[in-house]
Structure 1
Amino acid sequence: MAWALKRYLVCSETSCLKCNCIIKKNKSKNCAIFFTLFFLVLFCSDVLALPIFKQEESNLPPESENKILPFQYVLCAATSPAVKLHDETLTYLNQGQSYEIRMLDNRKMGELPEIDGKMVKSIIRVVFHDRRLQYTEHQQLEGWRWNRPGDRILDLDIPMSVGVVDPRANPTQLNTVEFLWDPSKRTSVFIQVHCISTEFTMRKHGGEKGVPFRIQIDTFKENEAGEYTEHLHSASCQFKVFKPKGADRKQKTDREKMEKRAPQEKEKYQPSYETTILTECSPWPEITYVNNSPSPSFNSSHNSLFCPFSLPPNKQNLLPTATPQEAQQWLHRNRFSPFCRLFSNFSGADLLKLTREDVIQICGPADGIRLFNALKGRVVRPRLTIYVCQESQQQTREQHQKHENGDGSSNTFFVYHAIYLDELTAVELTEKLAQLFSISPRQISQIFKQGPTGIHVLVSDEVRASTVFKTVLWSSLKTCQQTRQSRLLLV
């Protein structure tokens, strides 16, 4: 464009010289008009080049504008009517409410045949819309984690979701969840956002506007090594989060404001749509290096997280000599994974020095009390402890009775086993006695307790609750050779 204007200027100067007009003195009316138009064009070009007049498309290549995308993600939440034309849509969400995102397959016939009949992996994350907050995202999230210990920014509502396979969430990434899904099947994932927009404002004096967030979904296919690292599609949308029912009130306020505007003003704004379509964007920068190590999984029935490492529960107490790495392993083994990042630099001695008030303030009341009890090695005392002797011979029983009556002439040595009961039920007693005799609980058909005058009373939950068991008991196990069923008598 500049080259064409320059060429036109040269031609104009030549024609002006031929007609003997002097440009510097503005004696030619035609030349004056030309220069006025020329500088006006240059000024408008510079103004239109400003970012405010440029509608950027997330650095997408030009050929992608008319391209049919392989996937489409639809957030089932209404867009705001107070958004001007050509601006990005804005959606209001309620804190903690479940919202559906429909995962749609838009592929044409024969497109991406390598994923036919296979799963793809999608990663959903909540990120900041403002570039200023994106630069300090790590610090912002760490501050939120400190103020809301044990909470997550983004969660999946597993019971309501459809077609979601192997959902996972990393305790160290509060704003990210991931799952597998089959594009050929109906898939809807329900998400919950637990932070609100005003939690990240600079000055909090009340009445300030909350910062906007973005929901971004990145989808990957499986490579030859079985890892989901090959990028397929990314899309995102802008939204704000309000306290419960606050989004409904904000939507109503925007609608009432638009109704009061003149018809000419209304034409400058977008209509409100019932759903929000996520628009294509560039993949999230960190997605290039997807970590395919096993992530903690969601429990489909309780919507909670398992520990990120498949370590067996460890009843061993934390030692003061434990290093920070050993302290991290102890936290994982004892189901304190969400707080591992908070205590990343704590050694065993540092954790043991924490008071009850300290851990409650850091972890919240529920997890704080649990962590304090685990650090101090407090074990829940059983409701009942009984000592059972396994001797079953008749003469041993007689000697045992003599021993109870104070007859010290017997030199027989009796071995008793401690049984700890927490629930005080017949089933629990059966299981513990089966372990003692090294048999299956199903082999014990009945348990009797010797009652008054030597009668045998069948042990049930009612009998167990209404009678008092002696601390020391003698047991006799009788097995029927035909049915292989056993009867146990407690004396």
Structure 2
Amino acid sequence: MLFCHSQPEHYWPTPAEHYQNPHSTIYREPMQLPFLKQEDQPLFVPLCPAFQCILYAPSSPAIKLYEETLTYLNQGQSYEIRLLSNWKGIGDLSEGRRLLRSVVRVVFHDRRLQYSERQQLESWQLNHPGDRILDLDVPLSVGVTDPLVNPNTLNTIEFLWDPSKRTSVFIQVNCISTEFTQRKNGGEKGAPFRVQVDTYKGDAHGGFTEHLYSCSCQVKVFKPKGADRKQKTDREKVEKRSALEREKYQPDSETTVLTECIPWPDIEAPRSPPSTFRMPTPERVCASPVCASDSSTECSGESLSPSSSISETQQWLVRNRFSNYCRTFSNFTGADLLKFSRKDLTQICGVADGIRLAHSLNARSVRPRLTLYITTDTPEKKITDDTNQTVYQELYLEEITAAELTTKVADLFSIPANHIQQISRTGPHGIHILLSDTVGAHVLLYLVGLLICLMYSTDISLMYGTWYRTSVLLPMTINSM
């Protein structure tokens, strides 16, 4: 006895149907009779992720199935990133701790550019002063609280949001992909970027250090309207192929789902308010050789010794404004760092920072513009006492002004600077010409004599020498009042 029905036949696919190819022959299994009791077949239900980020920009149709999606963006155009949450842990948090911190950044996709990312961004900043690589369009964003744009990081924005409410953030990418490729005669292939979102949970101390979720997608940025033209070109390119070849490409999609990835290593620090974003203040660095003679104790702490441990090396890098390379040299001792040549350091840190780091490791000080040699012995004493050789003290000038000379002389002889009444030079027929800041630099470079009027009865002799790497000594006599 048969029962007929008008419903279409339903059957479970065989393993051969899961992996079909044009040359295989697939046979159906016999249809199960409807009056027989069928066991419930296990259905595969995909797990709903706790977090999901969707970029509202169409992905390229010219990407094959096994490749990562690629999305084209227009320079300066606002694009929405919608943050979806199915996180069950929100129920365990109090009302004040439900906010999450998310950091959005644009980074390089190519590993070669990742190694030189800092130098690439600095070069872009020099060509675009006052601009940012990544901006946050606050008026269009929804559910975003306390947005923070750090002026020291051009490619990063961060904000707080409530996962129980609708949240959409609009971003603008202001650089184009061809700005980071070698210039040719046209037809440059732009460097791909990655838009990455990292989300953190708050703790009892008010910081956001516990990582929850990270996702990213690959993008290329074109000049205005360029992304639309590229999207149209890719679509026409795929449509020209045969139906069999078109099956190898990903279907068109008006949105791009960011795929889960590992967190970015530089964003694990707790969130700080905008007022606390400042560069680390290093201790005073010796700017001239006079520092070595007057402040040897202070300057000795700035040098890196071969016996310095890993922690001491890290502290030295921070004090000398190399904190950006603490992660690069995280396992290096002082001896390891001192073994690097200048060429090695420029390859690791770039030309500018590499040369500066090499000079800091070698404790190379800045050459002063003018060096003066001063003694308290008078010329009469030199004539009467030829047995003892006159001893001069060095005085270094950087700005070559009368005010600087007054301060340096006062420090050298341990007298108050306000006790020096005036500085004058010896003119024709022994007249005294007042030396001021206006003519100080010009006169000191062609110095023939100085008169320092002190409230002390001390005779000072001065010799001029070493200006701009010259070594000319001109004897001069300074009479005191």
TM-score (norm 1): 0.46
Larger helix fraction of residues: 1
TM-score (norm 2): 0.47
